[in-house]
Amino acid sequence: MAQLHPASTAAPLYLTGNKDGLREFLTKFDVFLFDCDGVLWSGDHTFPGTVETLELLRNNGKQLVFVTNNSTKSRADYCKKLQGLGIPSTVEEVFSSSYSSSIYISRILQLPENKLKVFVIGETGIEQELRSENVPFIGGTDPAYRRDVEPEDFKKIAEDDSSIIDPEVGVVLVGLDYHLNYLKLALAFHYIKRGAVFLATNIDSTLPSSGTLFPGAGSMSAPLIMMLGSDPTALGKPSQAMMDAIEGKFKFDRSRACMVGDRANTDIRFGLEGKLGGTLGVLTGVSSKEDFVSGPVRPHAYLDKLSDLLGSEL
């Protein structure tokens, strides 16, 4: 087998059906970081062979980490989802963009004493992880923000009226929000203009579900990016803030770690920029064979589907 190439520009190895190639690939790594949706399952449908493939890796002593940009669920929720799909896992093996964001806010951002609150655009997963790090927040799933904007809101926001604007907000954190509305966007914009730090759990523009694509977390940030003319600091893949946090927790040797994913521009890029020993693309999600073989960001190797790893017969 050829050496794994270090850059992203060489053609990736196609390993489906190549037993020796698969074995050689797998022995190079101790840790496998998995993107989940589009790799292990799609929506609520687990791909055939997912459970057996993960079992094969565990049986061969590999450490598994489930890395997800899904910010709507907490790690605990996500672990339950994995278990519900028949995939044994622990909360400690799950790394979500909402957790990564909470760690960034509580441990890395140096906020002034009177600007510690986070205004959240997002669902309960973000709230749970912020609570786990003792970060105060407003917005999120609070019904007070799930309403139509009213004419008087414009005036109150413009005047920093304390009935609607909290002067202690120092961060705006934007994740996937199924209840996005005009009021939340107006408030987020206003807070950022007043000096709040603009963070995003992740910037995936789309969300795969039911075999097609829906608005993703990046689409929630898009109006703010357009209005502000600047991008948020993103804490999910492919941000290396997430890789640093994962490494900080699992203390692995990057050269012995492999990122597995279905998206060239997030998952594979995440592994390449993180200088992991390997990246493995699968064709059960967003990116196509053409993306992997001749796109601008190419994995070291790719498979038709994750369960093709079973062909290693390890």
Query: Is 35 among the catalytic positions?
Result: yes
Q: Which is nearer to a second copy, 61 or 151 (CB)?
A: 151
CB 111 within 8 A of CB 137: no
Selecting among 37, 77, 291, 308, the annotated active-site residue is 37
Q: Is 288 in the site for a second copy (CB under 8 A)?
A: no
Side chain identity at residue 104, one-letter code: Y
Q: Which of 4, 51, 222, 310 binds a second copy (CB under 8 A)?
A: 222
Window 30-89: residues binding a second copy (CB under 8 A)? 43
SS (H, E, C) 222-249: HHHHHHHCCCCEECCCCCHHHHHHHHHH
Q: Which of residues 227-286 bind a second copy (CB under 8 A)?
A: 227
End-to-end CA distance of the chain, in Å? 17
Identity at 309, one-letter amino acid code: L
Q: What are phi and psi of 46, to 5 degrees?
A: -75, 135
* Binding-site member from 91, 149, 165, 310 for a second copy (CB under 8 A): 149
CA gap 90, 97 in Å, rounded: 17
Label the pairing between strands 233-234 and 257-261.
unpaired
Amino acid identity, position 172:
V
Q: Quick check: helix, strand or coil at residue 265?
A: helix
Q: How far is the CB of 148 from a second copy (least distance, A)?
A: 6
180 is a site residue for a second copy (CB under 8 A):
yes
**Pick from 182, 248, 255, 288: which binds a second copy (CB under 8 A)?**
182
Check residue 157 for interaction with a second copy (CB under 8 A).
Answer: yes
Nearer CB in complex with a second copy: 153/267 = 153
Minimum distance between the CB of residue 154 and a second copy, rounded to whole angstroms? 5
- How far is Cα 260 from Cα 249, in angstroms, rounded to an integer? 19
CA–CA distance, 98 with 25 (Å, rounded to integer): 31
Task: Assess 211 for contact with a second copy (CB under 8 A).
Answer: yes
244 a catalytic residue: no
Name which position in 154, 195, 254, 296 contacts a second copy (CB under 8 A).
Answer: 154
Which residues have a catalytic role annotated?
35, 37
Interface contacts to a second copy, rule CB under 8 A: 43, 148-149, 154-155, 157-159, 177-182, 185-186, 189-190, 193, 205-206, 209-216, 218-220, 222-227
